[in-house]
RNA sequence: GGGCUCGUAGUGUAGCUUGGUUUAACACGUCGCCCUGUCACGGCGAAGAUCGCCAGUUCAAAUCUGGUCGAGCCCGCCA
């Protein structure tokens, strides 16, 4: 017999059908027994009235086949339930279960560490599973949008010979007789592909940061949504592209993830435009309006990021805010300089957290080489990268979005690890 | 690299400040009995923890001290 999905049960009233799934809940109410079945499409209530059907040994979370006839029933959830004729246990679940998986998280209140220790099992929970359904939609919408704008999807190596952006640490790996590193960004490669003639490219791939921190917003391997575009006027073209991207993405999420958003009590706003502040203005706002003191005026610290987002929400009714005109000292060597020691680099903050870094890049060969030297890098080590800059490199720019951070902020998750299936952090290598 | 906090049944917590009537409590889960409309079902009962580990102080340690292992958070840095 073909299998029917939970979501389709209502279309088979009166027919004998087979359901497959997991035993979500068992409720014994006297001589009536309810078995709630869960499959990938959701829940469906089944009812056992025949006293010859023995379910006394049925365990929650066992994988089962349930046979029976659906009927309309006012008292059932969604008005439909299946009257059981037979239950087959495909594979029994052992007791005890690692934790209560069939309830809303606010009721089970399981700690992130227990969730991650039992990661596949934890995703039996509808609320936890919904995070990754939404994340899949974020990534799908990203790819669809980029393609619609003429971007080519590329896949570049995560095994590299040298780092791109000085500051962050690289994971060294042994590559036969050579020393190699895990890529911290596809930066060089996406720029090279712009110069190659594709003009517009995007990549969805893991990147690796050997940063020795343990916070609710850092993981050492994360999924980076990168794009790079050629023949731009300046960084504003990149910013405009990201605004259109986020508008499209939010529309798609509202349309295709209504259930997931509702499960997390999230109502996505319509993005009209996104305000911009120069870094110097942002610092002034923090100092003047919030009495914040800065030790380093090259960047906003996490507290300042939260304050500026609070300000943006109040003044512009926007959860997002771009910070622009960062000084050269805080940005990577390939960032296009602007007047007064500033750059054409920007960040995007969302609900108090940095989710994007981008910029216009240097496209002139001599300027790039001299910038490299200023940063203490040897141009001869990067010949593979520099070559294309000799042969007519267009003006260009791009950005990178942290997928898990974006997911975390959209769903108001406390910890970024909740937005990552198998997070790699300072101490965790399994599962 | 610097700082702060937490480890108590399968899960989540209380108890620790002020060591002793604690036989370590509560909720969920598990097991048994009852219940013909549950939907966070309900009622009655039961099992399940040498209080992370090691050492110390003490007549007495879940409780105080030191070490150790594990975990969470903040800062620097970053998406």
The answer on pLDDT for A24 being more than 70 is: yes
Q: Does some domain include residue A296?
A: yes
Nucleotide nearest to A423 in CA–C1' terms:
B79
A235, A348: one domain: yes
The mean pLDDT of A244-270, rounded to a whole number, is: 95
A29, A158: one domain: no
The answer on pLDDT for A165 being more than 80 is: no
Q: Which residue is nearest to nucleotide B79 (CA to C1')?
A: A402
Residue A180: the pLDDT is: 87
A142, A30: one domain: no
Res. A400 pLDDT band, cuts 50 70 90: very high
Protein CA A99 to sugar C1' B57 (Å): 39
Whole-complex ipTM: 0.86
Alpha-helical runs (H) found in A200-301: 235-256, 258-263, 279-290
Residue A103: the pLDDT is: 84
Res. A365 pLDDT band, cuts 50 70 90: very high
Mean of pLDDT over chain A: 92
| Domain extent for A349 | 126-419
Protein CA A56 to sugar C1' B47 (Å): 19
Nucleotide nearest to A306 in CA–C1' terms:
B74
Q: Does some domain include residue A105?
A: no
Protein CA A24 to sugar C1' B51 (Å): 33
**What is the rounded CA–CA span in Å between residue A360 and residue A240?**
13
Residue A168: the pLDDT is: 58
Lowest pLDDT segment from A96-105, A213-222, A225-234? A96-105
CATH of the domain at A60: 2.40.50.140
DSSP code per residue over A271-297 = -----EEEHHHHHHHHHHHH----S-T
A224, A305: one domain: yes
Choose the final residue of a domain: A45, A68, A91: A91
Protein CA A101 to sugar C1' B50 (Å): 30
Q: Does some domain include residue A107?
A: no
Q: Does some domain include residue A246?
A: yes
**What is the rounded CA–CA span in Å between residue A83 and residue A342?**
70
Q: Total domain count for chain A?
A: 2
A64, A146: one domain: no
Protein CA A79 to sugar C1' B2 (Å): 59
**What is the rounded CA–CA span in Å between residue A298 and residue A329?**
7
Nucleotide nearest to A185 in CA–C1' terms:
B79
Q: Does some domain include residue A303?
A: yes
Q: Does some domain include residue A103?
A: no
A85, A142: one domain: no
**What is the rounded CA–CA span in Å between residue A46 and residue A304?**
53
Residue A54: CB atoms within 10 A of its CB come to: 11
Residue A61's region, left for phi above 0, alpha for psi from -120 to 50, else beta, is left
Choose the final residue of a domain: A68, A91, A114: A91
A153, A237: one domain: yes
Instruction: List Cα–Cα distances, A28 to A20, A25, A49, A278, in angstroms.
Output: 21, 10, 11, 63
Q: Which residue is nearest to nucleotide B34 (CA to C1')?
A: A30
CATH of the domain at A286: 3.30.930.10
Residue A425: the pLDDT is: 87
The mean pLDDT of A282-295, rounded to a whole number, is: 88
Protein CA A113 to sugar C1' B55 (Å): 29
The mean pLDDT of A339-357, rounded to a whole number, is: 94
Q: 3-state class of A269 per DSSP?
A: coil
Q: What tokens appear for A54 in the block?
A: 């023995």
Q: Does some domain include residue A117?
A: no
- Nucleotides in chain B near protein beta carbons (<7 Å): 1-3, 10-13, 28-32, 34-42, 70-79
Nucleotide nearest to A211 in CA–C1' terms:
B77
The answer on pLDDT for A11 being more than 70 is: yes
Nucleotide nearest to A75 in CA–C1' terms:
B37
> Using one digit for the tens of pLDDT, what is the confidence trace for A295-339?
778 889 999 999 999 999 999 999 999 999 999 888 999 999 999
Q: What is the Rg, in whole angstroms, of the alpha carbon atoms belonging to chain A?
A: 26
DSSP 8-state assignment for residue A337: B
Choose the final residue of a domain: A74, A91, A108: A91
Lowest pLDDT segment from A6-10, A209-213, A272-276, A278-282? A209-213
Protein CA A387 to sugar C1' B51 (Å): 65
A359, A264: one domain: yes
Residue A91: the pLDDT is: 94
Protein CA A178 to sugar C1' B77 (Å): 28
Nucleotide nearest to A109 in CA–C1' terms:
B12
Q: Which residue is nearest to nucleotide B30 (CA to C1')?
A: A96
Protein CA A413 to sugar C1' B48 (Å): 34
A223, A85: one domain: no
A157, A294: one domain: yes
Q: Does some domain include residue A354?
A: yes
A400, A317: one domain: yes
A230, A151: one domain: yes
Protein CA A167 to sugar C1' B77 (Å): 8
Nucleotide nearest to A51 in CA–C1' terms:
B36
Largest CA distance in chain A: 85
Top-confidence residue, A350 or A52 = A350
Res. A163 pLDDT band, cuts 50 70 90: low
Residue A1: the pLDDT is: 87
Q: Which residue is nearest to nucleotide B48 (CA to C1')?
A: A96
């Amino acid at each position: 017999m073909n299998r029917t999905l939970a979501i389709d049960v209502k279309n088979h009233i009166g027919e004998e059908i087979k359901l497959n799934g997991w035993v979500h809940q068992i409720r014994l109410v006297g001589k009536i027994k309810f078995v709630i079945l869960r499959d990938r499409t959701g829940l469906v209530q089944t009812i056992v009235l025949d006293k010859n059907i023995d379910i006394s040994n049925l365990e929650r979370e066992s994988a089962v086949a349930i046979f029976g006839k659906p009927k309309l029933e006012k008292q059932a959830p969604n008005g439909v339930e299946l009257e059981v004729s037979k239950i087959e246990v495909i594979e029994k679940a052992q007791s005890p279960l690692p934790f209560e998986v069939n309830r809303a998280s606010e009721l089970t209140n399981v700690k992130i560490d227990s969730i991650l220790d039992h990661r596949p099992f934890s995703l039996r929970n509808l609320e936890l599973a919904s995070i990754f359904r939404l994340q899949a939609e974020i990534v799908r919408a990203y790819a669809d949008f980029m393609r619609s704008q003429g971007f080519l999807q590329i896949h570049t190596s995560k095994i590299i010979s040298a780092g791109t952006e000085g500051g962050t640490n690289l994971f060294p790996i042994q590559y036969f007789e050579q020393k190699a590193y895990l890529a911290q960004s596809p930066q060089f490669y996406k720029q090279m592909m712009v110069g190659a003639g594709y003009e517009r490219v995007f990549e969805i791939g893991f990147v690796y940061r050997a940063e020795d921190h343990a916070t609710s917003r850092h993981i050492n391997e994360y999924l980076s949504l990168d794009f790079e575009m050629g023949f731009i006027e300046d960084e504003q073209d990149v910013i405009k592209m990201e605004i259109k991207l986020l508008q499209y993405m939010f529309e798609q999420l509202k349309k295709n993830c209504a259930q997931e958003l509702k499960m997390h009590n999230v109502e996505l706003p319509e993005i009209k435009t996104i305000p911009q502040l120069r870094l110097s203005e942002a610092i002034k706002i923090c100092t003047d309006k919030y009495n914040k003191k800065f030790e380093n005026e090259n960047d906003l610290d996490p507290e300042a990021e939260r304050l500026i987002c609070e300000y943006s929400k109040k003044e512009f009714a926007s959860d997002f805010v771009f910070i622009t005109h960062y000084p050269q000292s805080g940005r990577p060597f390939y960032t296009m300089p602007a007047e007064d020691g500033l750059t054409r680099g920007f960040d995007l903050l969302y609900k108090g957290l940095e989710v994007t870094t981008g910029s216009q890049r240097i496209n002139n060969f001599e300027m790039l080489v001299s910038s490299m030297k200023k940063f203490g890098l040897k141009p001869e080590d990067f010949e593979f990268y520099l070559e294309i800059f000799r042969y007519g490199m267009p003006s260009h720019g791009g950005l990178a979005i942290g997928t898990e951070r974006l997911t975390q902020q959209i769903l108001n998750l406390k910890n970024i690890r909740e937005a990552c299936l198998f997070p790699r952090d300072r101490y965790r290598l399994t599962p």
